[in-house]
Structures are given as structure tokens and as C-alpha cells.
Amino acid sequence: MKNIFVLAVLCLLNTTLLAQTPARFTLQGQAVDTLSAPLPSSTVMLLSPKDSSLVNYGRADEKGVFTFKNLKSGEYILKISYVGYLPFNQLVKPTGEAIINLGELQMKPITKELFEVVVRTAKAPLTIRGDTIEYNASSFKVPPGSTVEDLLRKLPGVQVDQDGSIRAQGQEVRKVTVDGKNFFGSDPKLATKNLQAEAIQKVQVYNDKTEQAKLTGVDDGKKEKTVNLELKEEFKKGGFGKATVAAGPASNELPLRAEGKASYNKFNAKNQFSLVGLGNNTNQQGLSRDDYQDFRGSNAYNSNQNADFGFSGGNFFYFSDSGDEGLGIPVSGRQGVGFSNNAAGGANYNYDTKEKKLSGSYYYNQTRLELDAERRRNSTLPQNEYTTDENSNQVNFNGNHRLSLRYEKQIDTLNTLVFINNSRYGFGNAQLLRNQLLTRSDGATTNNESTNRSDQRQFATSNSLIYRHKMKKKGRSFAASATYEINTNDANLLLDSENSYTGPIRPQDQQPNIHQDQRNNTVRTEYKASLQYIEPIAKRYFWETFYNFSLRYDEVDRDVFDRGDRTYVRNDVLSLYYKNNYVYNRLGSSLRYSHKGLNVSAGLAGQRFTLNGEFAPDQMAPTFRSINRVFTTAIPNVNLNYDLKKNRYLYGGYSVDVRIPTSRDLQPVINNSNPLFINRGNENLLPQLGHSVNVGFNYFNPGSFINVYIGTNATRYVNQIVYSQNTDPQSLVTVIQPENRSGGQNLGAYTGFGFPLKKTKATLDLNFSTNQGRSPVLINGDLNQTSTQGYNGGARLSLTPVEWLTFYGNANFGVNNTQFSISPNRNQTFINNNFSGELTLKLPAGLYVNTNLNYRVSRNASLNFDQRIPLWNASVYHILGKAKRAEIRLTGIDMLNRNVSVSLNQGVNYTQSESISTLARYFTLGFTYNMRGVQAKMRKDGFF
Amino acid sequence: MKNLLLALGLLLSLAATAQDAKTEGVVTYVRKERWLKITNRLTFLSQEQKDRMSQTFKNWAENDKGIKMKMSFSPTESLYTYNSDEPEEGGYSWRKSDLFLYRNFAKERKIDVIEMLGKTYIVDDSLHVPVWKIGNQIKEVAGYICMSAETQDTIRNYKVTAWFAQDIPVPAGPERLNGLPGLILELDINDGDVLIEAVSVQFRPLTPADLKMPKQKGKKIDDAAYNKLIRDYIAEQMTAHQNPYWEIRY
């Protein structure tokens, strides 16, 4: 009531104050229906005739009577609205009189059909233009696959006859247009019978001039009923593609360099289809991240993928199996080392609706990689010292067919089902020629000359089914998953190794020559199941419980034969038949508190590993050695995420990461493919536990563009899987074997600070990190602790002063100290500094220049190692045409011709330098065509 | 549009007949932001990058269930803020930037508490009403027949379509919009970039708690300073090739 009083006072005030002004007038009227019955409390508005803007408004009284007092002289549109009636519009012109009384203003009711069906049921907006009414057809639900004709039948006021002819508001429709344009001639049925209802956004029924009138420009007064169908935006289909080819002359004694890449995408609201293909001999081994996103479309990144439930906030258990290529499509932006020829191609299809999402893809890639390496190694044994000079040439070929399938079904609002399949069939062969010369301090030498020829076929598939159920109670949910994985590898190796000796080496320390056929057949199968239940036990408190089961079955059948001149004898030392079950059970529970950006959880899980295996030289062997181990452990978990005011973020936690030994580490296989470095698995390995604590803080000020982060983490290992080494002092054969060792630890800290020197023009980012580690390992029977301390600092300057110039500069400094407890004389300091700059210039006439220089400095004073490698790349490009769809580009890679891959590393009893020849200077001239246009990238992109 | 404000107060020889008590209560809205559509407005992205984002993240964007907002309203006052601090569906709780938009139609004042750009701002100014163009469309929102009205936001440079109830004579509305002959039940920003839709309207007498502003420290500014802040920030971010709409309310 208060407001009405205020209004009344204001009205009074105004009336008295402004009463003298003659240019003002009072407007009166009464809103009634077609039977002159008053429409009480209807909304009355005065609009400016110029742009319909609202000037004034009020409410009529219970008799529908309204009065606007003190109106400025001028024209107004009077608009009255009342629920269930067509809004009333009338132009009001001043008459010069002080009071204009419009009398009864009749409002037409909206037909009951329109009101109930269109507005209330279909919830479609009605657009009123004079007497014609338009509405949104997409609000009317028709079964998928229906035609426009089926849709029209549902619309009030529209009839469709048996023969398909259409009548709207009683009149026959003579013309159907689509987006205002004629659709396949003049027969209206063609459009309505052929177009899908789903594609229609709006149906407009209106009276159009006849074709005759349009042609002559003379309005004959006749009107034709016309239906216009407006297509949905997303149904305007899209397609785009791009292709790049580039080639350059032979250089550095290499034949010509060439690369090519092409992709094509076609999509509409529900479907995405894409093709991609690439080939090159410039070490580009796969799709870039952008290419991958274009290829996989809506399936590039998926949520709802994880079938192994665990503590929320990370910390999953995982089996990591090194050596195999993953099941997913490889994505890399990096240039590989050596010389590689690469080819890849694939097709992807996604179908997405709210209820159903289906995606399938096929991808093939192959790489032929040639590596020429030189290694020099100085080793120290308690008894003596020796050097190893190694030269090797290796040609590897690898091909992979990958298939992936994903199906997600939203059964209803509470139930979701996801099926994920990823499979790979890989094949490859390799040829390695290697020469190793071992020179002892007394001058005696071992020269090993070996050839490895291998081929392999692998098949791997992983299938997961995940079911999620939300309960009626908000926050309560249940999930279950099942996974089946199989991985087979069938490999053959032809090994030929010959040794020659000089100097005083006893015959018993000389290694026999090896001529072997090795056939390996391994199968790894895994069955997994997981359950999860979340219960909201109180407001803001959630109790989460999970259970995981996994059974991994490994089987290795390895047959090794010694090839003699006329003999072919099975080697019982190296041959092996091994099978093993690794059962894992975990039950865990945690309590989480979530409120206002604070999420804290604490939990505990118990897990049990049971290892049952047996092995013998052969399946037929009379006796098997058996392995039976049980390992039980409790793992606590604490997790904190705190989203604080003003873009500050605090996080931390304590977790125990469990790493299960890989199949390769577990199998008691003796791998002699390098007869001087023998790897042997360890069937008694236990899972590695890493107790980790971390805490960190982030801050970002979007107003001043300042960001700060700081954090620290520490890990202590129990049963860490480390690789012990044992070198026979006489034969110099080293045996490497994984084993469990406790006591290793790692401590790290990092911080960063970024701020604008001048907003939007210059930004400086600084960062610093340090790492202190310690790991124990047995070296020739002695327990050695390797301690490392690393310090890294960096600065990055981004200069974007004008639109036509950008510069990014980086400087990174690194110092690494290493100490070995059993040989303090080998303690050392490595320095790795890296400086780089990238400049992009936009020149007149659509010409662009991009150039970058990277300067790497590696130094080790005690080893007299000092290497400085500058790599300079540049390209000049021009964007062609008005539509800017094509680009021509001249590129120079490593223009100083200095690229080599050289590295130096040092272990407890050795120092090794390695150099691999790698693709260096080359030039290419390239051409790109992109249907969506080529844009020169001046600035580096962040995430938008 | 000063005269509109004036008009609001004056005239209305609005028969003081007691309207049915449909003028006081709480509206619950769902606010959905379509960030992919918003990204498409970024001037510095190429068509290829926009397409890539749209094609890659369309399912993620569709799964967005929006965030619930609420507005307590009476013929003289309104307060618009988040519906709840509790996490939805048992998920993680993310902190929401403070937002309290208070309107007093009788005194023609407003107080907005808005946390953005790393600060809390208190916009304390008289009630400015945008230029509303009344349309010729009606539709139902949350059970009420609404008319359409349009206005242009000249700072963010987009069109806002409001749907106001024909039979709830309260000039309140969600976000920073108000001043229509009926309660705004739906806002459509730039053809669906952001959609704020009423899901329920509950009529009941308001208690002081419903309109209580939290005690907030912040930087006091007026509408002009607020608009300048937003305008400058958008220009700055576009120059820096960053999406400005992560940090300011769209």
C-alpha cells in the first residue's frame, strides 16, 4: 500500500506543479472485450511511435478505466495488454485539447485453441502482427523422422488434406517458402513432404501479394496464403577442409624433404564426420593437438571415462605398462630425433543427441625411424675402470591400426550407461647393427659386434561399461563398472652377436658368440570391476564408498633356440614358460565436507594384492617353480581444495600412490638382446607405495593481471621399484634387475610470479623450482644412495606492443648436483641453460615473418663438457586472395645447420655421452588452402 | 529516459483498488550461460578456432545445468542473488563470486554488491531504467503469460530480451534489469548467450530477512564508474586476446 500512497502524493504534486502548462494533456480510456465487458487491471503502456520504446505505463482500475495525466504533447502508441487477449495497439495524436478520451477500446480474445495449445501446452511464443499470429513450430513435439507435413497437422488453425494440400485459417496455402525463398518450384507439397520437421525453427503463415502483383508491381489487392518455414540455425549444415603441402630441395646429403596434411569435416547439429591424412619425412610424427580436436570433434575429450572409482580428488590406482604404444591416438607437437618418415590417416564419426551419443573412429599411423647413435661411456668398478665405445644403426618400422567406439545412453534423467572400446593392432620390425668396444684400464679389450632383427605383432583392446545411477534423494548416487582388457604380443628376434678379445682376458671370462632365434608370445588379460556409492549423510557432508576388484593374468611363452652350423638346439636357460595371476581388491571409504568453495575429505582404504604364479623352462616341464605372495596395506587419503575469495585458491593433500609392477618387470625373463647388458625380470616384486604430501596456493588478479603461485610436495617411497646393476669385473657383462627398496624420497618446491610491465603490451613471468631427491639402489652388491639437488629458474617476457609485432623471449637456468654415496669422487654439477626468442612481424602487402632462435648451453666442469647449440628457424608467408583462404610459405628449419641430439648423463659408476644424428637444415616452400580462411597468428594463444 | 522514471512515480491515477495479493514473493530462476556462443563473439579468434571449440565442446556445453538464482520482490523493493550456497547433486562446491542486487523502487535507489576483477564493488546509485522497447510477442513463462520487451546493452554490445508477466505488476527483474510494467520472468541475452528463466514464482509476504543485504566491505562506485570499469576491461581483454567474460558477469 505504501507505494500507492507515494504515487498518489507524487501525482498530486505533479498535477499542481504542472497544471499551467498547456502543452500537456490527459489521456483516458477503458479497456473492454468484444462484448464491452471491462477488462480490470489491464496493463496500459505508452510507447514512442519512433521505436516502440516505453515512455510511460500504468494499470487500469477494476472497470478497465485508465488515465494518464500530464502527458507531454506528442504522438504515442497506446498499448494495452490483458492475459488471454491480443495486445491492443492504437496511435494517439494530440488534438490540442486538454483531455483526450478514447472511450471503449475493444480487445480481441486470443482463440482458445491458440491460447491453450500454443501458449499453455507447447509453450511457444506468439508473435502478433496486427491480426496475424505467428508461433514457434519447434515447440511442437513430433516423433523423430517426421516431415514438415506431420508438424503442420499439429498446428492449430492448419489443416492438411489427404492429398497433402494445406489450408491455413480456412484458406488454401498456395506457396511454401523456406527461409523466404521458393523451395523447388511452386508446389507447396514438395517442401512439406520432403523437409524434416526437426530442421524447422519457425512457421509463419501470412498473406503475401500474388506473383502477378509482384511481377507487375501493381497491387491487385489479392492476397495469397503463404507459409514460410524458417530453418534452425544449426541445421544450416557446415563443411570445411584444409590442406597443406610443402617441399624442399635435397640438402645435407639427404633427399628432398616433403610434407603434406589434409583434413575435411562435415557437420550439422547431430552429426560430425571428419577425415584426416598426413605424410612427411620431416620428423612430424603425429597429429597436433588442434588436428586431433578437429578430427575427433565432440569426442576429443570426454568426461565420464574413468571406470576405476577411487578417492575423489584424484589418486587412482593404475597399472602402467611401459613399452607399448597406448590405445589412444598419439598426439604430439614435438619433432622426433633421428630421421623419420611418417604417414597417418583416419576417419571419425560422432552422433550426438541428448539421449544418445555415439562415436567411432579408425586411425592408422606408421613410422619408419632411422637412428644413428654414438655413445661413449666411462665406467668405474671397485676393481677397475673401463670405457665403452658404441656405434649403432637402427631402422625401426611401426604401423598401428586403431579403432575406437564410444556409446553413451541417457536412459532417463537418473540413469546413464557408457560403453567405451579402444583397440589397437600394431605390427613392426626393426634391424639393429651395433658395435661395442670395451677397453679396460690395462688395455685389454672386448669387441662386441651384434645384429638384432626383430618383428612383432601386437593386439590390444580395452572395453569398459560404466553405469551411473542417481537416486531420488539429491546427492545420493551409485555407480558400477566392468572392464575387460587383453593385450597380446607375438615377437621374434634373430640375435647374432660375436665377441673378439685382445689383451690379458682369461678364457672363462670370454663370452660365447650368440646365434639365437627367440620367439616370445605373451598374453596379458585383465578383468576389472568397480563399485561406488555416495550418500549425503547431512547437509554439506558426503560419505563416499568404493570397491575395486582386478584380476590380471599374464602368460609368457618364450622359446629360445641356439643356431649352430648344423644344429638347432633349444636353450633351456633362456626359454621360459610363465603364468601368473595378480589379484587386487580394494575397499575404501571417505567423508567429504563441501560448502562455499571449501572441499575437504578424509578417508581410508584397505587393499590386498595376491600374486600366484609358476614358471618353468617349458610348458611340458615336469616341475614348476611357484610364486605365492600376499601383500596387504592400508592407504589413508586426505584432500583439501579451498576456493577463496578474490581468485585465491588453496589446495593440499596426503595420499598413497600404489604402483603395481609391470608385467615386464615381473616376468623372470632373461633378456639378452644386448649381450653386454642383460635385463632380468623379478617374479617377487611387490607394489611400490609412495606416500605423498602436497600443498599449494594460487592467486590471480584479473584487474591488474598479476598472478602468483607457490607450492611444495614431498614423497617417501616404500618398496620403491628400482633397478639394481651388477657388472662382472672380468667379463664386464652387466645384469640389470628390478627390486623393491625403501628409503627413496623426493622433495620439491615451486613458485611463480607474473605481472604486466605495461598492461596488454608487456608481461613478465618469473618462476623458480627446486627438487631434492634420494634413491637407493644396489650397485655391484653395494647399497648406493644417489642424492640429487636441482634448481631451476626462468623468466619469460611477452612483448605485444603493436598489432604488427610480437616478441616472446625465454631464459631458463638450471643447475643439477648429484652425489653418490659409494663413490663420492664422482659427485658433479650439471648446468643446463636455455635462451630463446620468437619474433613475428606483419609487413605490408599481407606478408608475415616469423623467426625463432633457441640457444642451448649444457656444461659440466668436472667432465670438461661444454656444448652450445643454436637452432634458428624462420618462415615468411603471404596470405592470398580476397577471401584469405590460401597461404604460401617459405620455411627454413635449423638455418645454421647445427641440430644434433647430444646428451650427457651420469650414473653412480659411469658417465655416458650420447649423440644421435638428427634432421638438420632444410628449406621448404609450402602452400595451404583453408576453406574457413587462413589467419596469421601474431600472438600466442591461451585458452579462451 | 528520465521522464520514464518520473512517469513511474507520477500519474498512475492507478486506481488504488487492492490488487489480488500477487505482488510480493520469491522467484526462482535458472541461469544458463552458453560459453561456446559467447566465445564466438571474441573478435580475435579465427573462424577455424571458433569452429574447433564449438565442435569439440558442444556436448560439455549442453550438459551445463545452469545455476539457480532467486529474487525476493515486493512492489517497492527487490533483492536478486544466488539461490543457495550448497553444492548441487552432491558434487564439489565451487565458490560463487558475491552478487547481491538490491532495488528500491519507491526511493528509486539501488545497491549492488558485485565481486569481480579481484575486488568487491558496491554500486550505490539512483535507479536507472534502460530504454525498453515493447514487443508484440506473448508467451508463457513459469505459468504466467508474459510480454516481450527489448533493450540494448551498449557496453557489452548485445540485445537483451525480457519477458514480463502481464498480471504481476511489479517493476522488478533479475540481474541488473528492471523497470517494466510487470515482473520480469525471463531474460534472454543476445539470442541465447545467457538465458535466465523463472522456474517458480511463490507469492508470500516477505520477511526482513528476504531483503537483507549482507554486511560487505567494498569499493563504492556509481553506475558511470561501473560501466567504465566493464567497458575498459572488455577493451583491454580483447586487445590482450583473452576472453573478458570469464571474470565479469555477462
The CATH number that applies at residue B66 is 2.50.20
Q: Considering just the CA atoms, what is the radius of gyration of chain A in Å? A: 39
User: Does the pLDDT at position A609 exceed 70?
Assistant: yes
Query: If you average pLDDT over residues A277-305, what whole number do you get?
Result: 87
CB contact under 8 A, A596 and B95: yes
Our CA-based measurement puts residue A262 at a distance from the nearest CA of chain B, in whole angstroms, of: 14
Contacts of B37 in chain A (CB under 8 A): none
**Cα(A181)–Cα(B24) distance, rounded to whole angstroms?**
49
pLDDT at residue number A134: 73
pLDDT at residue number A791: 97
Q: What mean pLDDT value characterizes chain A?
A: 86
pLDDT at residue number A671: 93
Query: If you average pLDDT over residues A564-577, what whole number do you get?
Result: 92
- pLDDT < 50 regions, chain B: 1-2, 4-20
pLDDT at residue number B12: 39
Place A523 in a pLDDT band, splitting at 50, 70 and 90: very high
Distances (CA, A) of A438 to A384, A391, A444, A735, B221: 12, 12, 8, 16, 79
Place A236 in a pLDDT band, splitting at 50, 70 and 90: low
pLDDT at residue number A321: 41
Query: If you average pLDDT over residues A45-67, what whole number do you get?
Result: 90
Q: Return the domain boundaries, chain A.
A: 17-107, 112-235
Find which of A7, A274, A305, A647 to mutate to test the B interface (most B CBs within 10 Å of its CB). Answer: A7
What are the two backbone dihedrals, phi and then psi, of residue B87, each rounded to the nearest 5 degrees?
-65, 145
Q: At what angle do helices B47-62 and A289-296 cross, to 10 degrees?
A: 60
Q: Which fold has domain A112-235?
A: Ferric Hydroxamate Uptake Protein; Chain A, domain 1 (2.170.130)
Nearest residue of chain B to residue A358 (CA atoms): B59
Nearest residue of chain B to residue A266 (CA atoms): B55
B positions 192-211 inside 8 Å of A (CB): none
- Identity of the highest mean pLDDT range in A79-83, A303-307, A404-408, B36-40: A404-408
B110 is in which domain, residue-wise? 2-9+20-246
**Cα(A320)–Cα(A722) distance, rounded to whole angstroms?**
15
Q: What is the DSSP string of A134-173?
A: EE-GGGS---TT-BHHHHHHHSTTEEE-TTS-EEETTEEE
- Number of domains, chain B: 1
CB contact under 8 A, B119 and A70: no
CB contact under 8 A, A646 and B62: no
Place A15 in a pLDDT band, splitting at 50, 70 and 90: very low
| Interface predicted TM-score (ipTM) | 0.84
**Cα(A69)–Cα(A78) distance, rounded to whole angstroms?**
14
pLDDT at residue number A7: 46
**With contact defined as beta carbons under 8 Å apart, do B135 and B148 qualify?**
yes
CB contact under 8 A, A61 and B14: yes
Find which of B3, B45, B62, B93 to mutate to test the A interface (most A CBs within 10 Å of its CB). Answer: B93
B64 touches chain A (CB under 8 A): no
User: Does the pLDDT at position A78 exceed 80?
Assistant: yes
User: Does the pLDDT at position A495 exceed 60?
Assistant: yes
B positions 118-177 inside 8 Å of A (CB): 118-119, 131-140, 145, 147-149, 166-167, 169
A642 compared with A11, residue with greater pLDDT: A642
B11 touches chain A (CB under 8 A): yes
Name which of A40-49, A93-102, A384-393, A448-457 the model is least confident about. A93-102
pLDDT at residue number A214: 52
Query: If you average pLDDT over residues A516-520, what whole number do you get?
Result: 95
**pLDDT above 90: percentage of residues in chain A:** 52
Place A871 in a pLDDT band, splitting at 50, 70 and 90: very high
Our CA-based measurement puts residue B185 at a distance from the nearest CA of chain A, in whole angstroms, of: 14
Find which of B55, B81, B117 to mutate to test the A interface (most A CBs within 10 Å of its CB). Answer: B55
Query: If you average pLDDT over residues A716-728, what whole number do you get?
Result: 94
Distances (CA, A) of A550 to A482, A524, A637: 10, 13, 21
User: Does the pLDDT at position A176 exceed 60?
Assistant: yes
pLDDT at residue number B5: 41
**pLDDT above 70: percentage of residues in chain A:** 91
Query: If you average pLDDT over residues A40-63, what whole number do you get?
Result: 90
**With contact defined as beta carbons under 8 Å apart, do A809 and A837 qualify?**
yes
Our CA-based measurement puts residue B64 at a distance from the nearest CA of chain A, in whole angstroms, of: 12
> Is the residue at B125 inside a domain?
yes
Our CA-based measurement puts residue A726 at a distance from the nearest CA of chain B, in whole angstroms, of: 51
Grid cell in block for residue B26 = 520469491
> Is the residue at B14 inside a domain?
no
Place A212 in a pLDDT band, splitting at 50, 70 and 90: low
Query: If you average pLDDT over residues A30-41, what whole number do you get?
Result: 90
Contacts of A475 in chain B (CB under 8 A): 87, 89-90
pLDDT at residue number B65: 84
User: Does the pLDDT at position A335 exceed 90?
Assistant: no
> Is the residue at B15 inside a domain?
no
CB contact under 8 A, A4 and B145: no
Our CA-based measurement puts residue A184 at a distance from the nearest CA of chain B, in whole angstroms, of: 31
3-state class percentages of chain B: helix first, strand second, coil last, to nearest 5:
20, 35, 40
B89 touches chain A (CB under 8 A): yes
pLDDT at residue number A319: 40
Residues near A326 by beta carbon (within 8 Å), at least 6 away in sequence:
none
Nearest residue of chain B to residue A65 (CA atoms): B15
Name which of A149-153, A514-518, A759-763 the model is least confident about. A149-153
pLDDT at residue number A219: 56
Q: In three state form, how does the secondary structure of A406-471 look?
A: EEEEECCCCEEEEEEEEEEEEEEEEEEEEEEEEEECCCCEEEEEEEEEEEEEEEEEEEEEEEEEEC
CB contact under 8 A, B240 and A70: no
B56 touches chain A (CB under 8 A): yes
Q: What is the DSSP string of B230-248?
A: HHHHHHHHHHTT--GGGTS
Contacts of A45 in chain B (CB under 8 A): 134, 181
Q: Which CATH architecture has domain A17-107?
A: Sandwich (2.60)
User: Does the pLDDT at position A759 exceed 80?
Assistant: yes
> Is the residue at B187 inside a domain?
yes
**Cα(A379)–Cα(A373) distance, rounded to whole angstroms?**
19
Our CA-based measurement puts residue B176 at a distance from the nearest CA of chain A, in whole angstroms, of: 18
